[in-house]
Amino acid sequence: MLVGRSAEAAQAAADQLGWAESETDWRSAVNREDIDVVDICTPGNTHAEIAAAALRRKHVLVEKPMANTVAEAESMARAAQDAQSRGVQAMVGFTYRRVPAVQLARQLVAEGRIGAVRQVRAQYLQDWLADENSPLSWRLDKEVAGSGALGDIGAHAVDLTTFITGQRFAGCLRDAGHLREERPVAESFRGLHGTVNDQRGPVTVDDAALAMARLESGAPVTLEATRYAWGRKNALRIEVSGTSGALAFDFEDMNVLHLYEANADAVTSGFRRILVTEPDHPYLEAWWPPATVWATSTASRIRWWTSSARWPAVSSPHPASRTVSMCSGSWTQWSVR
């Protein structure tokens, strides 16, 4: 069952995506006996309430950002912990964790293949707001979205850092702000894009967010999330430098992981371009057949859900939410001429 605010739009989406039914009242959906799993993909300001209700009876997948405030995230985490004692699973939808190249990166760090982590640089670059006439949407409204690039895509950069390094963040200095203070008001939307009218309204979230952070070990991390980087469509990038090697990944080349091992013969040392599409690679069994190049799919997503041994239930606010919180103290406002 697919739930939306407009009966008509919900039914149209259900038809397009192949869902049996649609509904406009999420409460009735989370109370139905024949539904086992709830996927919360509404704007962030509604996550906590829906999750609280859904966790009473259903397994819950909440899309990122988990919540708009740390207080909400903490209450959700407590509810998830309670639910877990009743056999109910909960998780946050950080889909990029399940890319085989990312799985391999995590595995190699855990095996010590690059030694101890010394530095991380993580970026998430997109360009869908780089057109200064692209319209306002709920994602640009702080009341609804909570934050801008930071929560929307920065959360993935933070999550990938913790997922690959196996460490949490210990501190953060953040800078963020508007690159555009007003935008045209949208008449209608098609995905992230839309048609506009001649009115303008304020952008109340950050267009880009930067941070200099530390991991638990003290290792420095540079973070950047922006929706203002012309030409970068989905550049979720991470490079981890260790004491004996390094790893680099860019989601725009999602089947590839680059690995540098310092202990190799110096004359032939270099980053190795690993095409992470072979049968021995992690998580490939949930993907498409080997010997070719593949991507995320509904099938693999369902596989994630059912492979609970690998996907730990959320029992405390997700590190990404905590990091966003730690970063909140140093907010500054830009005004770019």
Window 130 to 149, contacts with its own copies (CB under 8 A): 130-132
Residue range at the interface with its own copies (CB under 8 A); choices 42-50, 68-76, 156-164, 175-183: 175-183
- Rule CB under 8 A: choose which of 239, 304, 318, 323 binds its own copies: 239
- 72 forms part of the interface with its own copies (CB under 8 A): no
Q: How far apart are CA 257 and CA 102, in angstroms?
A: 8
Q: DSSP 3-state assignment of 123?
A: strand
Cα 328 to Cα 337: distance, rounded to the nearest angstrom = 25
Binding to its own copies, residues 10-29 (CB under 8 A) = none
Find the shortest distance in angstroms from Cβ 300 to its own copies. Answer: 10
Q: Is residue 329 involved in binding its own copies (CB under 8 A)?
A: no
User: Per rule CB under 8 A, is residue 85 in the interface with its own copies?
Assistant: no
Q: Output the smallest distance, CB 245 to its own copies, in A.
A: 5
Question: Cα separation of 137 and 119, whole Å?
Answer: 36
Q: Give the nearer residue to its own copies in terms of CB position, either 88 or 203.
A: 203
Q: Does residue 103 bind its own copies (CB under 8 A)?
A: no
Integer CA distances (angstroms), 197 to 3, 73, 194, 272, in order: 29, 36, 10, 50
- Closest contact distance (angstroms) between CB of 313 and its own copies is 26
Of 13 and 185, CB closest to its own copies? 13
Indicate if the alpha-carbon torsion angle 31, 37, 41, 43 is positive or negative.
positive
Please give the C-alpha separations between residue 255 and each of 104, 250, 276, 319, in angstroms, as whole numbers.
11, 9, 5, 26
Residues in contact with its own copies, counted by CB under 8 A, come to a total of 88
Nearest residue (CB) to its own copies, 81 versus 95? 95
Identity of the amino acid at 104: L
